[in-house]
Amino acid sequence: MKKILTVLLALLCLSAQAKQKLTIHTFEQGQGTFLLDGKPFVIKAAELHYTRIPAEYWEHRIQMCKALGMNAVCLYIFWNIHEPEEGVYDFSGNNDVKKFIGLCQKNGMWVIVRPGPYVCAEWEMGGLPWWLLKYENMNLRSLDPNFMRAAGRFEHRLADEIAEYRLENGGNILMVQVENEFGSYGKDKPYVSAMRDSLRACGWDKTQLFQCDWSSNFTDNALDDLLWTMNFGTGAKIEKEFRKVGEMRPDAPKMCSEFWSGWFDGWGTAHQTRPWEPMVNGIKDMLDSNISFSLYMTHGGTSFGQWAGSNNTGFAPDCTSYDYDAPINEQGSTTEKYFKLRELLQKYSDVKLPAIPKAKPIVAINEFELTEFAPLFASENLPKAVTSHDIHPMEYYNQGWGSMIYSCQLPVTQNEGLLTIKDMCDYAIVFIDGKLIGRLYRGNGFENTLRVPACPNGGRLEIFIEAMGRINYSRLINDPKGITESVELSTTQPGAEVLYNLKDWNVQLLPVSYDFVKGMNYKTLAEQGLDRDMLVSPSPVRMPVQTTLRERAGYYKASFNVKKVGDTYLDMSQWSKGFVWINGKCLGRFWNVGPQQTLYVPGCWLKKGVNEIIIMDICGPQRATVAGLTEPNISDLHRENLPTDAVKGVTAGRKPKKTLDPNATVGNDAAPGAK
């Protein structure tokens, strides 16, 4: 017992000594500058999103930013990835933001935290959790008691998680942001004030709080006791962007909290790039004027899994790759932008910049076949149906992401008709008695109508719906999935036109989780009735997709060998539309419309020897083979692969939800160059 007490006493002494050694820093606003420990300080921040980087690579990316010449890391906190179900929190593995901030401190980098609750970031629903939509008439980003209660609960949980990294606790968090670009959403100072108060109540009362917006709208919600920062992109006139805030607060430090280095890609649109010169020149102009900045993005990374959002220009889902044409590319390697910016930042550094970390190895993987198959529409692979008289969206059935199949009995009809799906979100494949009727895509102008044949004996209607990313910008973020209103069949009967509002639905839910896809009933291609030679031969006979889609759609599986572990880019050019899992990790969505035709595979998710791959393809591949490439293909656009089955001229635009203000400012095109 005496020995135990001695050991405990020694441990207590060591703990006390460790606390005494903590260096407590101060950070505040000075006369036209920030003050760190009482000395003028210019923030040179790199925006990184830890959830878009494999945890095994976090320190490498942080060191890449330090070697670039940055002194801080700016990061969004994505509420929905940390609270995937209401009241269920996940701060483990790739969600361990506490560990990420600790790695920043270990590498001498300050941190700026942007906890939302809304963040945009081309992320599913702008970071808001899907389950908020289960509340009737939920009014997002407002003083709605249900929203404020949920957001406040999460902000408290997050604050507790990272409390040790507050400055007063010896940490490295310089600033915390209140909400995010709220001026592009509306005018509601009471709400922004409530979010500020919520953060202070969480423990950020001693931390510098700030709010960001555009120079054109920041005064709409600007609070007197917060720091105001501006967001704008390369090519902007720096003096003009800060003119108004300078007139209103001539003695306050200035900061560009998002200086956009590039841009994001959307499915079916051209790959976006921006030249390095305006980025470097803009940063030089800011540094010459003692203006702090955060480069959005310094490294974009990848929206793994189902986390890519959608833009609000109609409906424009974002690609899995979040390369962003940033100085550090998706795989974590240097680009021309990196070297040009590093050259500039070295001139503004009092010390020689650290050596650039060694790049992660990239390997090729020889083409291999996917030899096992589980048909998507086979009864043994579908979950038990739930029933409802009226049709409801996905959230009603307590599912956040993935796909679903609605089915019902059709009435007897003697003539062809029009099937109209109100609201269809987001990609539909329609069958009657197992025969393909057509495909619809919400991004094609909200198309929602197909011609259907006469059904003299009735028939079984099946509507497969794939939910793509929820809109992440504007008031359209209230974006439920599946079918949200009704399905109607209009036709002519003897002497009259008839409109049927279809009822009595069976609904089968297909989540996008590995636990679900690994449990399919996999058999060889031959056992499933598929022609192996057609699916894997170098020059297969191309069968029309209309006659083969239902048979080919499903889950393809294989094992493949890796001799040397390294990052690679999975070539998906022979596949149609779906998701990929490697060793249980979901790489994200692929779609042959492009521009992205490869998926980034982190080498840390591979292992030497045997690896598993599962591909869900909702339309079926041309060839059931893949290979690992050493270069990405994110600029190969094929808009001809978009569905063309809709009846044109009768489609209807999506109606605003009753909780939305139709007069509110919406659209990324509301301000040229806005993110």
**Residue 557 in tokens:** 């599986």
Helical spans, DSSP H, in 514-667: 514-517, 532-536, 545-552
Q: Percent helix, strand and coil across the chain, each rounded to 5?
A: 25, 30, 45
**Residue 496 to residue 394: CA distance in whole angstroms:** 35
In one letter, which amino acid is 412?
V
CA dihedral angle for residue 77, residue 83, residue 89, residue 92, rounded to 10 degrees: -50
* Catalytic choice (83, 124, 181, 241): 181
Burial pattern 514-552, b for ≥16 Cβ within 10 A else e, equals bebbeebebbebeebebeeebbbeeebeeeeeeebbbbb
**Residue 517 in tokens:** 């896809």
Q: Report the candidate in 215, 344, 321, 212 with the shortest Cα–Cα distance to residue 273.
A: 321
DSSP string, 224-255: TTSEEEEEEETT--HHHHTHHHHHH-TTS--E
**Residue 286 to residue 279: CA distance in whole angstroms:** 11
**Residue 548 to residue 553: CA distance in whole angstroms:** 8
Which residues make beta-bridge pairs with 13?
Answer: none
Residues 6+ apart with CB under 8 A from 215: 230, 232, 240, 241, 242, 243, 244, 245
Is 181 an annotated catalytic residue? yes
The β-bridge relationship of strands 625-629 and 568-571 is: antiparallel
* Catalytic choice (258, 330, 447, 462): 258
Which strands form 577-582's sheet, in the order they lie side by side?
A: 523-524, 372-375, 554-562, 609-617, 577-582, 585-591
Residues 6+ apart with CB under 8 A from 598: 569, 570, 571, 572, 573, 629, 632, 633, 634
**Residue 425 in tokens:** 């979100």
Q: Report the candidate in 402, 427, 214, 410 with the shortest Cα–Cα distance to residue 317.
A: 427
**Residue 443 to residue 315: CA distance in whole angstroms:** 5
**Residue 204 to residue 226: CA distance in whole angstroms:** 13
By annotation, the residues acting in catalysis are 181, 258
